[in-house]
Structure 1
């Protein structure tokens, strides 16, 4: 009995993945973010979740979210938005972001098959110091609220908060969040058959004037 939540924002130019510009245009960065979200939603759709929720900041939901409940994000910082999601849930819940399109069913399967009574939380570090996955057996937004986000010590601080609350934490593999163009190349290399990798490759094809598309 596990709820799966993907948190995402609408992929509009200038609103997502702005650190990919340059070398990508803002429109290309938004297109790549949309591909990342699509790959993520497709990967987790096969997991045996009791509910699938897209915690969404935007208006037009992606077609890959068919079958997902749409939960509008609350106002406030990222910690407040994450906390509100967990406060909304009333059974074991795993939350992931939209920035790791290399995620697979196999990577998250332990949360659904290996969650024993002695595990209170699952945690997946991102290699930039943040985290890409957090699962709580007993969802409680106060375990996240107040954690400073988007820093190189965010993951460490979040883990400290969990352990300070007396939780026994199991770990998922560390993944690369796509923030920069180097990250994008790394992730495309890990998951070369995904929509993300195909979109990135198409964007980097040289045009007739020597620039990328």
Structure 2
């Protein structure tokens, strides 16, 4: 067992249940295909991370044929904060000292980005990967005090700013990675590395 743990929060690949905001522009079938691509990017990048153990938390059903060497769980009930807090708490209870969580929404995700985040946790209490919409695509901590997941305005542009202010108020240290863009809307897709692959859905 390593001291680092990477947790992936993955929605099951279900038509009409993934990328619903994107689906408003390109339809449920298009949104499903985009999510499949993001899911595959996330699986590939996360399994290449060398300095951490790996756990996958699925939204509704454990997919046995994905992430063959990772421990797999179901997400708990509640909002995003509840789900992350439960998974991180379990990780700390199991003896991990640095834990990072990611979703399956980032086309630019790489193993190097995640490994760099773990390196930053050697010196800082928290690390975030800022998203252009004001949220974050990655969150990591070495602090078992998981207040960052409590009473937050999830899916709003104020999320990261409010979280960073709370961390500073608690006198914990924090650093950030480069700002990247989750794919939630058509404009995000058009500006991403997946644009050429999926341009048939809007051109």
1:34-93 superposed Cα distances (whole Å, 9 cap, x missing partner): 210110121121112442011111225274422221121111111111111111112210
| Aligned counterpart in structure 1 of residue 74 of structure 2, from 72, 95, 116 | 72
Asked if the contact 1:44–1:105 (Cα under 8 Å) also holds between the matched residues in 2, the reply is: yes
Name the count of aligned residue pairs: 197
Report what 1:111 is aligned to. 117
1:27 Cα deviation after fit: 1.9
Report what 2:173 is aligned to. 168
C-alpha spacing 1:202/1:46, structure 2 compared with 1 (3 Å): closer
* RMSD over aligned Cα atoms: 2.1
Q: Distance in 1 between matches of 2:99 and 2:197?
A: 36
C-alpha spacing 1:24/1:161, structure 2 compared with 1 (3 Å): same
C-alpha spacing 1:72/1:24, structure 2 compared with 1 (3 Å): same
Secondary structure of 1:173's counterpart equals coil
Secondary structure of 1:95's counterpart equals strand
Asked if the contact 2:120–2:127 (Cα under 8 Å) also holds between the matched residues in 1, the reply is: no
1:10-43 superposed Cα distances (whole Å, 9 cap, x missing partner): 1211111112224422022112112101101211
Report what 2:189 is aligned to. 184
Asked if the contact 1:125–1:172 (Cα under 8 Å) also holds between the matched residues in 2, the reply is: yes
| Aligned counterpart in structure 2 of residue 46 of structure 1, from 42, 45, 48 | 48
Q: TM-score normalized by structure 2?
A: 0.87
Report what 1:59 is aligned to. 61
C-alpha spacing 1:152/1:112, structure 2 compared with 1 (3 Å): closer
Q: Distance in 1 between matches of 2:177 and 2:28?
A: 32
Task: Extract unaligned runs of 5+ from structure 1.
Answer: 189-196
1:171 Cα deviation after fit: 1.1
C-alpha spacing 1:62/1:201, structure 2 compared with 1 (3 Å): farther
Asked if the contact 1:79–1:148 (Cα under 8 Å) also holds between the matched residues in 2, the reply is: no
